Structure 1
């Protein structure tokens, strides 16, 4: 009896290469993070969902946390639309409220899970800070502060990156250092009224 001829497998996974395969892996990891969070993110499950093998993942990311960081940045990539309330207090408080809403959402829970999973690994913790995203956020806060200077709501000396980003640094501290699941609106107002606005108003050349 003639042996049955074995047909070669030709799946979409075996044909994918480079950017196409990486896109499928990141998509699978991002979906898994949204569905089940960081604890469920395993190389086995991501490979299964992406229709590939673990070697393809390990060639790109050394471990599940590094892959999770890359997938998180994919989830968190959004365009910032600046508020325009007519006052520096209103604009910056609205920006803090938006950030608070994001960080207390499932995406924020994913971020906190990744920070915990990264432990004390400096390389992974550094990757959780996306330079492009940080630059965009810093530029947004500088724009708000620049508007205030143009309105006469702040002195030109206040237009400094570290001054502009102070509210976000304090809000991040509430989540990362203190471990708050969400920050009350009263605390957001306190950050603006008791720290940021006095800092802005105190930065003058000679007064």
Structure 2
């Protein structure tokens, strides 16, 4: 790999890692505003990454919820064969690591994607209640979509906040407008079936306009 390509790849991974950290923070995980996390300068990241012999595995993250240190999440960056989808074996290896460490949730960041069999394996894993794997392609993470000027503010309601909302407006869950689990915003916040998200938009007349959506799918 020539020097120019290496520089481009490092810049790309720096932006992807920053989006991941912002995503974790928005989901309520503990992320440091320091050179170890969100405020790490690109030059520091590049220097440390090169000393790791350009190994994507060195980007692996483990973070815990701010209000529950038992709720942890892994972020994996598997090494891949260029332009080839990731197979089942690397997924199972990371599943074993999660089980060994008592971590039930993971985000896996890929350059290309998964083989059909690997996709089936992830779907089967996520259909149970033992663990959950989210798959993101690098191109989805180069830019943080929630920071776009046209994207309104989103806040995921807790279970108690959801109950209070339904009680206040005398609504059934099924009466709420919906957002698909596959929606880019739903994926960013890690929404699962039954989650409710509060959406706040600016309004010329009322100052702000609030709506709620139920995650389905």
Between Structure 1 and Structure 2, which shows a larger proportion of strand residues? Answer: 2
Q: Which has the higher contact order (CA 8 A, sep 6+)?
A: 1
Between Structure 1 and Structure 2, which shows a larger proportion of helix residues? Answer: 1
Q: TM-score range by the shorter chain?
A: under 0.3
Give the TM-score normalised by structure 2. 0.26
Give the TM-score normalised by structure 1. 0.26
